[in-house]
Amino acid sequence: MVVSGGQESHAETTLEYDRTKELKAFDETKAGVKGLTDTAVVAKIPRIFVRPAEELAEELNCRRADIQVPVIDLGGIQRLDRRKEIVNEIRTAATEWGFFQVVEHGIPVGVLEQMIEGVRLFHEQDVEAKKEFYTRDNTRSVLLNSNYDLFISRTANWRDSLIMAVSAYQSLESNYFPAICREMVMAYAKHIENLARMLFRLLSEALGLKADHLETMECAEGFSIVGHYYPACPEPELAIGTSKHSDIGFLTILLQSQLSGLQVLCEDQWVDVPPTPGALVINIGDLLQLVSNDKLKSNKHRVLANRVGPRISVPCFFYGPVPSSKLYSSIKELISEGEPSPYGEVQLDKYIAKFFSTGLDEYQGLDYYRGKKTLQGA
């Protein structure tokens, strides 16, 4: 694979550069970004990872806000008075930010640390051991790749991803998880599903609904555990770890290692979400904003590339009962004459397919679906 330097590549003409050829060469190694950094001393990043010139120019004027994403302590939630306080704190964070961190969430620190270690062990094993999982078939229950949208995005993200789907109808005792991290994943999955169900109950209450409303809608019935691995990047000012986007599902629960990189967009300013020991980052997804009739906010976020690494993160995406043609729309109790729904019904499988057919850096989230009577991924 030819490694073309980031800054030098700007001087190349379109005719001199075959992007498709370079993408194919990178993908055919099945070694991802980790393999790229392992096999050579990379002083400059390949051009497929260099962000467009206009985006880099915009970055120079990008503002950073010195404020903090809310941190909510879930301790004492069994007490009625404390539960009401927590519901109010979650309502404020979910409506104003769409992001918050939780501590005292009930998941042992050892389980969190082992999950991070499991992802590290998987990505740092010999490339030949990982190749059996490397695929672009996103219908598989377990897959490894670098950029699901590699061939349709403008910029490749500087990361590799292990993706493991957990269906509501699938036993967590299954042996299909990679052996090197199986025990860690199974232990984490059980804890994270319990936490998600608690959060959906709290969010239901925050919306003024019965506590089981979102659970009854099957919002927690299927999720994916993703192990992102961000190697050290020699030119982080030219690359991006994960492009700016909003999450398409109902809820995301994120575990991150002790390296910064996550940022949330707040009033056109980027806010750092530094790792807090023992904390988990929670963010509202597009589907939850839709069913809440825009009362809860799905916010855009990104991950910066870093000169040091690896950074490891483990987002758990709660999509609902995937695969399914289940229809979702704004909850009728949250619609009024003064607050009509701007959305029609979303057919879940086609909604998910729309996302995977679009580059992450170009996906428009709920903007696709406003003002339409039926939303079937068109």
> Is the pLDDT reported for residue 297 higher than 50?
yes
Strand partners, 264: 271, 301
Give SS3 for 174: coil
**Overall average pLDDT of the 309-323 stretch:** 94
Instruction: Please tell me the predicted confidence (pLDDT) of residue 174.
Output: 66
The answer as to whether 58 is a domain residue is no
Residue 209, number of CB atoms within 10 A of its CB: 17
Average pLDDT score, the chain: 90
The domain tally of the chain equals: 1
The answer as to whether 48 is a domain residue is no
The answer as to whether 33 is a domain residue is no
> Is the pLDDT reported for residue 6 higher than 70?
no
> Is the pLDDT reported for residue 372 higher than 70?
no
Torsion sign (Cα): 198, 203, 208, 214: negative
Instruction: Please tell me the predicted confidence (pLDDT) of residue 60.
Output: 83
Give the pLDDT band of residue 367 (cuts 50, 70, 90): confident
The answer as to whether 75 is a domain residue is yes
> Is the pLDDT reported for residue 377 higher than 50?
no
pLDDT digits (tens, 9 = 90+) for 302-315: 999 999 989 999 99
Give the pLDDT band of residue 153 (cuts 50, 70, 90): very high
- Calpha distance 122→262 (Å, rounded): 22
Report which of residues 211 and 168 the model is more confident about: 211
The answer as to whether 93 is a domain residue is yes
The answer as to whether 60 is a domain residue is no
> Is the pLDDT reported for residue 163 higher than 80?
yes
Q: Are 86 and 56 in contact (CB under 8 A)?
A: no
pLDDT digits (tens, 9 = 90+) for 330-354: 999 999 999 999 998 999 999 999 9
**Overall average pLDDT of the 169-196 stretch:** 85
Instruction: Please tell me the predicted confidence (pLDDT) of residue 148.
Output: 94
The answer as to whether 43 is a domain residue is no
Question: What is the percent of the chain where pLDDT is above 70?
Answer: 92
Give the pLDDT band of residue 64 (cuts 50, 70, 90): confident
pLDDT digits (tens, 9 = 90+) for 204-259: 999 999 999 999 999 998 899 999 999 999 999 999 999 999 999 999 999 999 99
Q: Which residues of 286-309 are buried (b: 16+ CB within 10 A; e: fewer)?
A: bbbbbbbbbbbbbbbbbbbbbeeb
Instruction: Please tell me the predicted confidence (pLDDT) of residue 378.
Output: 40
- Calpha distance 13→15 (Å, rounded): 5
**Overall average pLDDT of the 22-49 stretch:** 91
Q: β-strand 262-266 against 301-303: which pairing, if any?
A: antiparallel
For the whole prediction, is pTM greater than 0.85?
A: yes
CATH no. for residue 270? Answer: 2.60.120.330
Q: Which residues of 14-30 are buried (b: 16+ CB within 10 A; e: fewer)?
A: eeeeeeeebbeebbeeb
Give the pLDDT band of residue 170 (cuts 50, 70, 90): low
Instruction: Please tell me the predicted confidence (pLDDT) of residue 2.
Output: 33
**Overall average pLDDT of the 125-137 stretch:** 95
The answer as to whether 246 is a domain residue is yes
Structural domain boundaries enclosing 253: 65-375
